[in-house]
Amino acid sequence: MTELSTNDGPIYLDNHATTPMDPRVLEAMLPYFTKIFGNAASRNHSFGWEAESAVEKAREQVGALIGASSKEIVFTSGATESNNLAIKGAAHFYQDKGKHIITSKIEHKAVIDSCRALEMEGFTVTYLDPSKDGIITRAAVEAALRKDTVLVSLMWANNEIGTVNPIAEIGQLCREKGVLLHTDAVQAAGKVDVDVEAAHVSLLSLTAHKMYGPKGVGALYVRRKPRVRLAPLIDGGGHERGLRSGTLNVPGIVGFGKAAEIAKAELPAESKRLLGLRNRLLKKIQDGVPQTFVNGSLEHRLPGNLNISFAYVEGESLLMALNKTVAVSSGSACTSASLEPSYVLRALGLGDDLAHSSLRFGFGRFNTEAEVDVVADLVVKSANRLRELSPLWEMVQEGIDLKTVQWAPH
Amino acid sequence: MGAALTTLGDNFSTLKQQKDRIMAYSDKLLDHYENPRNVGSMDKSDDNVGTGLVGAPACGDVMKLQLKINDDGIIEDAKFKTFGCGSAIASSSLVTEWVKGKTLDQANALKNAQIAEELALPPVKIHCSVLAEEAVKAAVYDYKLKKGLLSAAEVQAHERKMAGANRAEGESDDDVDARVQATVASYTARHGGKNDVTANA
């Protein structure tokens, strides 16, 4: 079998963007490209039956990861589709009940832009501000609820700052008020405990490639009791109980199932290990570089996330110093090509200077302590070098309050 | 099948070229970023030193450029510090090399396009070269202001431009005018005799 090499090239610390596929997942998938190639919807012969049984096994595995029954799993092309289906599908189906939706300013673009599209159709959307440490509280949701609210969509964990929302508390509230709760659990599933029953979730989005599975396959959990109904986005042969037509991506789904099974089995030990890596990097950075700020709550946070601002150092120049050795991101992968600072960090109320100076480290299954040490040394060295180059750092050392300086914006 | 594979190969190489274009900065740019020239600060109260501070933290770029001018009007030293991306650091490092040994007029004539071309800046980074040009002009202006080498009209025009750009919150047009006039008045009071002496350096 092909060896997956992570030793050549840069160290990969961008596991929130995507994860490398686990070789065990690839192994599970391979027969389904060639030998077991049937269409899972073919009911008349063994090729179809074999494919269907593989899909049903994967449905069980994915459901088990989030405490759901396999009957509640709808396979999709990924989390962007799942988020679109959940939000637009629920809004359209229940629009006679009300046309108000609650979400937040730190959601993934797939959620925010789905909500924006609904606004164009006449829905009203409330975009909640997070607390200073990046959490959406039950109280914030409660204050925004209206008589015509039909859907609340809040991420389980944030992709940039790794903060974990109190979804169980919000789920309880939504159940009491008879409002649907959708959660984008792409970053949380397989990393922290996710249980749709304990959290009273109605709809939940997943994707395989953030949990060491293949790209191009995701799932939407759709609650059966009480039954949640959706208007489908894609019409056709009526696959996936009519919610998502289209021939099933059997190898991808098999891989997703295997990835979910491994994630569930290894979660307790792996989350401790990732926390160790993160704390190791954080301590080395804090010991080596003064005036760094962790963005978002450290307590309610994914174990594998560190988002940190280096005051008076510009993030892109820091990235340039790190690029050859380590793959990290400044802002989210979707926005790092633009010159705008991250909208998530802005929503936390961070000043532009700190928002411009942040790096996101995402640790994953294949990272080691030795890699963390290499990265930590380089980050400390580079940040201090760029501080020496920074006129802002110099002014602060001279006791100048940067807020009193008359800047000439360009 | 063979044709399909060739097409795939072509697409792949196009993608790779695109990535190289985005990711790979020129060797000159990388050299200035990794080994910046003339990093440091000079005494800004020294009459022979002109200081330009341009950009804003909110925009992610701040350049401080200082020029030391000798009695013959020649720039004999230049220092910089920059908060900004690699292109901003390289642009400011490059101009410190270029302006040394130049007259103030020659320095003022420096155009951002020359910087952008020398460093092969990608389009999204052109603003870094603009900022470096502005830093040189601001440092020259500061020196001339200290030495009384500007006319009252030049000071007024410059101050008005700056005042418009960084208007304080709640400041009215009249307030801005008053601020500009106060600066011009204080300048003419200090350099009254030289009001009409324009750039003779």
Tell me the percentage of chain B whose pLDDT exceeds 70: 81
| Least confident range of A191-195, A342-346, B132-136 | A342-346
How far apart CA A146 and CA A150 sit, in angstroms, is 9
Write down the pLDDT at residue B156. 85
For A190, half-sphere exposure in the C-beta direction (CA atoms, 13 angstrom radius) is: 27
Mean per-residue pLDDT for A325-333? 76
pLDDT digits (tens, 9 = 90+) for A198-255: 999 999 999 999 999 999 999 999 999 999 999 999 999 999 999 999 999 999 999 9
* β-bridge partners, B77: B68
Mean pLDDT, residues B175-184? 83
Inform me whether the C-beta atom of residue A356 falls under 8 Å from chain B C-beta atoms: yes
Q: Is A339 on the interface with B (CB under 8 A)?
A: yes
| Active site residue ranges of B | 59, 128
Do B53 and A391 make contact, defined as CB atoms within 8 angstroms?
yes
The DSSP result for A203-268, as a single string, is: EEEEESGGGTS-TT-EEEEE-TTTTP----SS-SS-TGGGTS-S---HHHHHHHHHHHHHHHHHHH
- Say if the Cβ atoms of A394 and B162 lie within 8 Å: no
B173 to chain A nearest CA, in Å?
A: 17
Is A410 in Cβ contact with B60 (below 8 Å)? no
Question: What is the C-alpha separation between A145 and A77, in angstroms, rounded?
Answer: 32
Residues B23-29: what's their mean pLDDT? 85
Residue A331 confidence (pLDDT): 58
Please say if the pLDDT value at position B10 is more than 60.
no
For residues A164 and A171, what is the distance between their CA atoms, to the nearest angstrom?
Answer: 14
Decide if pLDDT at A345 tops 60. Answer: yes
Residue of A nearest to B61 (CA): A314
Q: Do the Cβ atoms of B83 and A390 come within 8 Å?
A: yes
Judge whether residue B178 has pLDDT over 70. Answer: yes
Q: Please pick, among A334, A374, A378, A392, the residue that the annotation labels catalytic.
A: A334
Contact list, A388 vs chain B (CB under 8 Å)? 39
Tokens of A262: 């491994």
Of B78, B146, B64, B147, the residue nearest B106 (C-alpha) = B78
Residue B167's pLDDT is what?
67
Any CB–CB contact under 8 A between A1 and chain B?
no
Residue A317 and residue A234: Cα distance in Å, rounded? 44
Q: What percent of chain A has pLDDT over 90?
A: 86
Residue B5 has pLDDT above 50, yes or no: no
Give the count of beta carbons closer than 10 Å to the beta carbon of residue B8: 10
According to the model, what pLDDT value does residue B22 have?
47
| Per-residue pLDDT, B168 | 66
Q: Among all residues of chain A, which has the CA nearest to that of B162?
A: A408
Q: Out of A320, A339, A394, name the one closest to residue B60 (CB).
A: A339
% pLDDT > 70, chain A: 95
Give the tens place of pLDDT for each residue, A106-116.
999 999 999 99
How far, in Å, CA of A250 to CA of A336, rounded?
33
pLDDT at A4: 46
C-alpha closest to that of A214 among A262, A255, A260? A255
Tell if the CB–CB gap between A317 and B86 is shorter than 8 Å.
yes
Q: Is the pLDDT of residue A338 over 60?
A: no
Residues B107-119: pLDDT tens digits? 999 999 999 999 9
Mean pLDDT of B140-150: 93
- Percent of chain B residues past pLDDT 90, beyond the cut: 56
Q: Which residues pair with B88 in a beta bridge?
A: none
Residue B60 to residues A41, A207, A317, B167: CA-CA distances in angstroms? 54, 34, 10, 19
Distance between CA atoms of A293 and A314, rounded to whole angstroms? 14
Parallel/antiparallel/unpaired status of strands A305-310 and A292-294: antiparallel
Give the H or E element holding residue A274: helix A250-288
Query: Complex ipTM, two decimals?
Result: 0.80
Contact B83 A392 (CB under 8 A): yes
Average pLDDT over all residues of chain A: 93
A407 touches chain B (CB under 8 A): yes
What residues in chain B have their Cβ under 8 A from chain A's Cβ atoms?
22-23, 25, 33, 36, 39, 41, 53-64, 81-86, 88-89, 124, 127, 130-131, 134, 162, 165-166, 168
pLDDT tens-digit map of A48-103: 999 999 999 999 999 999 999 999 999 999 999 999 999 999 999 999 999 999 99
- Nearest chain A alpha carbon to B39: A389
Task: Answer yes or no: is pLDDT of B12 > 80.
Answer: no
| Among A339, A389, A408, beta carbon nearest to B89 | A389
CA distance A52 to A230: 24
**Please, are residues A181 and A152 in contact by the beta-carbon 8 Å criterion?**
yes
Higher pLDDT among residues B49 and B165, named by residue: B49
In chain B, residues with a C-beta closer than 8 Å to the C-beta of A351 are 57-58
Please give the Cα distance from A228 to A101 (Å, whole number).
16
Report the side by side order of strands in the sheet with A292-294.
A292-294, A305-310, A358-362
Assign 3-state DSSP to chain B and report helix, strand, coil percentages, each to 5: 60, 15, 25
Q: In what order do the strands lie in the sheet with B75-83?
A: B49-56, B61-69, B75-83
CB atoms within 10 A of CB B147: 18
Asked if B136 contacts B146 with a C-beta cutoff of 8 angstroms, the reply is no
Q: What pTM was estimated for this model as a whole? A: 0.86
Cα–Cα distance, A107 to A122 (Å, whole number): 21
What does the pLDDT read at residue B164?
A: 65
At B49-94, the pLDDT tens digits run 999 999 988 788 899 999 999 999 999 999 999 999 999 999 999 9
Find the CB nearest A314 among B56, B60, B81: B60
Closest CA in chain B for residue A403:
B57
Give Cα separations from A267 to A23, A196, A197, A305, A407 (angstroms).
Answer: 17, 17, 19, 15, 49
Instruction: Kindly state whether A120 is in contact with chain B, defined as any CB-CB distance less than 8 angstroms.
Output: no
- Bridge partners of B56, per DSSP, are B61
Nearest to A408 among B41, B89, B166 (CB): B166
